[in-house]
Structure 1
């Protein structure tokens, strides 16, 4: 188990699970029309995936710049998702 964390492979497994989660949720939406639309999933799934990449970089002792880039990317995607949701909520209340 120690090697799973030390090598960063645990993060790889979690990233695969996030990808599968996104695909399953998108498929459910396309087939039933229920749940979140794919464009509503991308922001928070990508933000979370970038946070996990930063964690993976830290676990394997990668250059600090990769961690910084992943964290900055996560912030940008999170803020973009928040702005998109804010605009949509504003349009619904009009």
Structure 2
């Protein structure tokens, strides 16, 4: 039983499916918050959400690239993209 469970987890994580599922949940969250938000216009809410959720999405994409052996260039690219999004989020929040 344990061996089958480990095989299943290896398949899900090794293929990147676990990250894909997390990204789908993040996309659903983005759409819901953008459409149901009460402050500002849809465009301003979407921009704020890109800044807030974008760094996490980029880090998840870097994880997916690492898990699927996509190459260090992709891992570095996604990690590098997360930084300006994170800084933009901090600046927009005036932190």
Partner of 1:11: 19
| Offset at residue 58 of structure 1 (A) | 0.8
- 1:56 equivalent in alignment to 2:64: yes
CA deviations 1:66-87 (Å, max 9, x no partner) are 100100000111011111221x
- Unmatched 5+ residue regions in structure 2? 1-7, 40-44
- What's the C-alpha RMSD, in Å, of the aligned pairs? 1.8
| Offset at residue 41 of structure 1 (A) | 1.4
Query: If the length of structure 1 is used for normalisation, what is the TM-score?
Result: 0.79
| Paired residues for 1:1-94 under 5 Å | 1=8, 2-29=10-37, 33=38, 37-86=45-94
Secondary structure in structure 1 of the residue aligned to 2:93: helix
CA deviations 1:5-49 (Å, max 9, x no partner) are 0101111111111000010111211xxx26xx3332111211110
Alpha-carbon separation, structure 2, partners of 1:38 and 1:65: 29
Once superposed, which parts of structure 1, at least 4 consecutive aligned residues long, lie more than 2 Å away? 37-40
Alpha-carbon separation, structure 2, partners of 1:38 and 1:13: 21
